[in-house]
Amino acid sequence: MNIPITGFVMNSGDDDANHSHKLYITSWNGTPVHVHSFAGMTSYNDGHSHQYANWTAPAPTGVPHVHGYYTMTSVDDGHTHIIQGTTGPAIALPGSGHYHLFEGYSTINGRRPHSHAYSGRTGDEVSS
């Protein structure tokens, strides 16, 4: 099965030849795509917490869907953690738009290895 996808690729300016570009999808099977912002603070573990913020992966607009998400936390206590997963389904906002809930645990890191819990809700949809 072939699904038509449109988008563009941009050089990210990174020095790493393996990660020097980013793909931006603008439509999936003829349907425009959108993204959501997500941000928050992890649980307080091992004497500290971390902040995080990024955009979800794109998903089709107007159909039932979820979004992938990935980000690295702020540097606190000399280290970072990775936060990644898949949001829950879309939850309609009054009037128009929607958001998604997300939750999970970060990767394990730190001088004394530990992880942090996180949870939240995305912002409203934004056309990508």
| Residue 9: inside a domain | no
| Residue 6: inside a domain | no
The pTM assigned to this predicted structure is 0.78
What is the rounded distance in angstroms from the CA atom of residue 123 to the CA atom of residue 115?
Answer: 25
| Residue 68: inside a domain | yes
Residues 76-90: tens digit of each pLDDT:
999 999 999 999 999
| Residue 93: inside a domain | yes
| Residue 18: inside a domain | no
| pLDDT the model gives residue 86 | 97
Number of domains in the chain: 1
Q: Please say whether the beta carbons of 73 and 44 come within 8 A.
A: no
What is the rounded distance in angstroms from the CA atom of residue 47 to the CA atom of residue 45?
Answer: 5
What is the rounded distance in angstroms from the CA atom of residue 77 to the CA atom of residue 42?
Answer: 13
| Residue 79: inside a domain | yes
What is the rounded distance in angstroms from the CA atom of residue 23 to the CA atom of residue 34?
Answer: 14
Residue 8 has pLDDT above 60, yes or no: no
91 three-class SS: strand
What is the rounded distance in angstroms from the CA atom of residue 38 to the CA atom of residue 71?
Answer: 10
122 three-class SS: coil
Residues 19-39: tens digit of each pLDDT:
666 666 666 666 678 999 999
| Residue 8: inside a domain | no
